[in-house]
Structure 1
Amino acid sequence: MARPKAFDQETVLSKAMEVFWEKGYEATSMQDLVAAMGIHRGSLYDTFQDKRHLFLAAIAYYNTTVTKAAIAPLQAPGASRSVIEQHIIAFAEQAATDPHRRGCLMTNSIIELATQDPEVAIALRRSLRSVEDAFYRALGRAQDNGEISPDKDIRALAQYLTSSLQGLRVMSKVNPDREALRQTAQLILQVLD
C-alpha cells in the first residue's frame, strides 16, 4: 500500500508555478523547485516524474486558477462590449503595475518552449484558446446587443484581442510605462468600432 502524500498537491503546484513564472523553465533548477515547494526531491519525482511533467502540471494549474480568474468577467452572463473594454484596460493597468515585471506565465512559456516541445505547445494552445473563446462569447453578446457591427468577424476579433494582450504583456516586461500601455490598450479597442 502506497504511503499517503505528506503535502498538499495544490499548494506545491502553486509554489512550482510561481518559480517557473519568475525564472522560466530552463533557468529553474530542481533545487529551486524542491526549495520553493518544501518537499523532498524523492516526493517531487514520485508525484510529478520529472521537471517537465511538473511544468505541465504547473501550466494546467495556472489555467485552472490564474487564467480562469482572468477570463471570469468575460464569461459572466450579460458580459459584452463594456466588459471587454474594462478587461483590456485593466489588463494593461495590471501589466504596468506588476512590480516584478514577470509578464504572463503562458506568454513567457510560449516564447521559451512552444517550438521545442509539442506537448507543452498543445497545453499552451489550449490555454490561449480558453481566453479566445471567452472573448468570442462576449463579442457575440456585444454583436447581438448591437454594440458591435454585425459585419465584424467575431472569431477574428477574439483572436486579435487574445494575441494583442499577449503582446502587451511582453512589451510590459521591457517598457512598463503606464501611459504607453494605456494608449496601446485604447488602440487595441479601436478594432471594435
Structure 2
Amino acid sequence: MPRVKEFDVDVALLKAVKLFWEQGYEKTSINDLVDHLGIHRRSLYDTFGDKHQLFLQAIERYNEYLNGQFQSGITRADSAKQAIRFLFDYMIEGKDDKPPGCLLVNMAVEVAPWDHEVDVKTVQSFDKVEKLLAELIQRGQESGEFASTRNASELAEEMHNSMLGLRVLARTSTDKEKLHRIAGSAMSLLDS
C-alpha cells in the first residue's frame, strides 16, 4: 500500500519557489531545499524528482501565482491606463512577504543561457506579459484613452522592456521613487 504524503505538496512547492527566488538556482542545494521545505530528501525526490525538475515545477507555480496577481489587479482596474499602472506598481512594489524582483527575470539571467527548458518557459512567460500589455494598449487606443499613432504590439514590447528593467532594479537598493519615475516615463509612451 502506498504511503500517504505527510505534507502539503503545494505549500512545499511555494516554499521552493521562494527559496529559488531568493537564492537563485545554483546557490540552492538539495540540503537547502530539504531544510527549507521541511520534508525528507526521499520525499522530495519521490514527489518532485531531482532539483532541476523541482525548479521547473517551481517556475510553473510562480507563473500561476503571477498570472493570478495580474488578472486580479487588471480586473479591479477601471481603465486600461489604470490596469497598466497596476502592472508597473506591482513590478516595483511586489508583495511584502515576497522577495524583491522577479523569479523569471532572475532565471532568464542565471539559468536560461545554458538551460533550454528554462529558456523556453521564460520566453513563453515574457511573451504572455507582452500580449497582455498589447491587449490593454489596444483597448486604451480604441477607447481614446491612449494615442493610436503607434502599433500596440510594438508599444507593448517597449513597455515590457521597461518592466523587466524595473524588476532588476527592484532587487537592488535603488530608491522606489526613482523606479516610479521610470514607470511614469514608460507610461508617457502611450500618450504620443
TM-score normalised per structure 1: 0.88
**Which segments of 5 or more consecutive residues in structure 2 lack a partner in the other structure?**
none
- What is the alpha-carbon distance in structure 2 between the residues aligned to residue 156 and residue 121 of structure 1? 22
Are residues 138 and 76 of structure 1, via their aligned partners in 2, closer, same or farther at CA, if it must alter by over 3 Å?
Answer: farther
- What is the alpha-carbon distance in structure 2 between the residues aligned to residue 90 and residue 30 of structure 1? 31
Partner residue of 2:176 out of 162, 178, 182: 178
Find the counterpart in structure 1 of residue 81 from structure 2.
81
After superposition, the CA RMSD in angstroms is 2.3
| Contact 1:13/1:61, CA 8 A, preserved across alignment | yes
Are residues 174 and 137 of structure 1, via their aligned partners in 2, closer, same or farther at CA, if it must alter by over 3 Å?
Answer: same
Question: 1:52 and 2:81 equivalent?
Answer: no
- What is the alpha-carbon distance in structure 1 between the residues aligned to residue 128 and residue 76 of structure 2? 14
- What is the alpha-carbon distance in structure 1 between the residues aligned to residue 71 and residue 161 of structure 2? 14
**Which segments of 5 or more consecutive residues in structure 1 lack a partner in the other structure?**
none
- What is the alpha-carbon distance in structure 2 between the residues aligned to residue 12 and residue 117 of structure 1? 24
Find the counterpart in structure 1 of residue 103 from structure 2.
105
Partner residue of 1:163 out of 158, 161, 173: 161
What are the Cα deviations for residues 129-166 of structure 1, in whole angstroms up to 9, with x where unaligned?
22222212211210110112222211111122222111
What are the Cα deviations for residues 67-112 of structure 1, in whole angstroms up to 9, with x where unaligned?
43134333568641232134324533x06x9698641111111110
- What is the alpha-carbon distance in structure 2 between the residues aligned to residue 153 and residue 75 of structure 1? 24
User: Secondary structure of 2:171's match?
Assistant: helix
| Contact 1:81/1:142, CA 8 A, preserved across alignment | yes
Aligned-residue sequence identity (percent) comes to: 36
Shift of 1:182: 1.6
How many correspondences in the alignment? 191
- What is the alpha-carbon distance in structure 2 between the residues aligned to residue 164 and residue 43 of structure 1? 41
TM-score normalised per structure 2: 0.89
Paired amino acid for 1:120: V
Paired amino acid for 2:184: Q
Structure 1 segments of 4+ aligned residues over 6 angstroms from their partners: 97-101
User: Secondary structure of 1:148's match?
Assistant: coil
| Contact 1:74/1:135, CA 8 A, preserved across alignment | no
- What is the alpha-carbon distance in structure 1 between the residues aligned to residue 97 and residue 36 of structure 2? 20
- What is the alpha-carbon distance in structure 2 between the residues aligned to residue 189 and residue 161 of structure 1? 8
Are residues 89 and 13 of structure 1, via their aligned partners in 2, closer, same or farther at CA, if it must alter by over 3 Å?
Answer: closer
Bigger shift: 21-30 or 82-91? 82-91
Which structure is richer in relative contact order (CA contacts within 8 A, separation 6 or more)?
1
Find the counterpart in structure 1 of residue 143 from structure 2.
145
Shift of 1:4: 2.8
